[in-house]
Amino acid sequence: MDLFLQQIFNGVMLGSTYAIVALGLTLVFGILHIPNFAHGHLYMLGAYVSFFAMTRYGLGFWPALFISVFVLALAGVVVEFLVYRPLRDQPHINSFISAIGALIILETGVVVIWGPQAHRIPNPYPGTIELLGMTMTQQRLLLIIVAIIMIVLLQIFIKKTTPGTAIEAVAQNREGAMLMGINVNRISSLTFAISTGTAAAAATMVAPIFMISPAMGALLGMKAFIIVILGGLGSIPGAIVGGYILGLIEALGGGYISADYKDVFAFGALLLILAIKPTGLFGREVA
């Protein structure tokens, strides 16, 4: 029973990270209707910005996190403006190729600046808490709390604010939103800023727990796409639920079967769920 509870906690921790990253990816897909294949590498860059701020300038964990969020929000605006906006009305293959180029540039740039070796951000909260047979490190528990707060605040922003309503309007009908006077370009930039900023926050929270490396964005980005498909393309609740489902599947599979194959379980879950419900958990049939 203790092992089960421990794996549940680990799964919720992983799921919190996945949900935040997939949520940003879902927002971008809802606006542009194209997948941002560079999303995982922007997540990786957020971890390195925090690492640089803490090791080069001696900043604390929280100032480094806020700097990373700000820098990556700006980076998201730049990527939207340079990579996706010029190709908005072009075939999707063009955006796909441009995104591949962007992620190669990001990964190569990080290798040139910080080297190919892995790094670790100093853990600001190394203590542990014992509860119900579980050993919870403070940093992992904090990650879960911060992720839940971010999810709630983002939901409030989308549902209760004018910019959030504009994002929903553009996602539902771009032409109709333009006719209502909504600046679609501005909303696209805002959406990218939110997407990459939240990814940077998730990366910074995870960095003291796991090693960071230039290649870390590739696998995370792939898992984020799995989550978006599992939850239903463009579904915000689906991204949240899918993230936690994937985290729990990986933790329980790794704990009871083999940690060597935990990444395989994600693809197995994708195949199983899509075989039962091809549109994803929260997806709807297109008329």
| 251, pLDDT greater than 70 | yes
More confident: 16 or 95: 16
Q: What is the pLDDT of residues 187-221, one digit of tens each?
A: 999 999 999 999 999 999 999 998 999 989 988 88
Q: What is the pLDDT of residues 218-236, one digit of tens each?
A: 888 888 888 888 887 778 8
Q: What is the pLDDT of residues 108-152, one digit of tens each?
A: 999 999 999 999 888 888 888 887 777 788 999 999 999 999 999
- Strand, coil or helix: 128: strand
The pLDDT of residue 29 is 84
**Mean pLDDT to the nearest integer, 254-261:** 77
Q: What is the pLDDT of residues 259-270, one digit of tens each?
A: 777 778 777 877
Beta strands in the chain (DSSP E): 128-131, 134-137
Mean pLDDT, the chain, as a whole number? Answer: 87
The pLDDT of residue 284 is 62
Contact present, 40 and 54 (Cβ < 8 Å): no
Angle in degrees, CA 220, 226, 230, rounded to 5: 145
Helices and strands (H and E) in the chain: how many:
11, 2
| 287, pLDDT greater than 60 | no
**Mean pLDDT to the nearest integer, 73-98:** 86
The answer, as to whether pTM is greater than 0.85, is: yes
- What count of other Cβ atoms lies within 10 Å of the Cβ of residue 87? 18
Q: What is the pLDDT of residues 35-57, one digit of tens each?
A: 788 999 999 999 999 999 999 99
Pick the closest to residue 122 from 184, 187, 53, 185 (CA basis): 53
The pLDDT of residue 66 is 96
Tokens of 207: 């960095």
Pick the closest to residue 154 from 140, 168, 138, 142 (CA basis): 168
Pick the closest to residue 199 from 57, 30, 18, 59 (CA basis): 18
Label residue 44 exposed, middle or buried (CB < 10 Å: 0-12, 13-18, 19+): buried
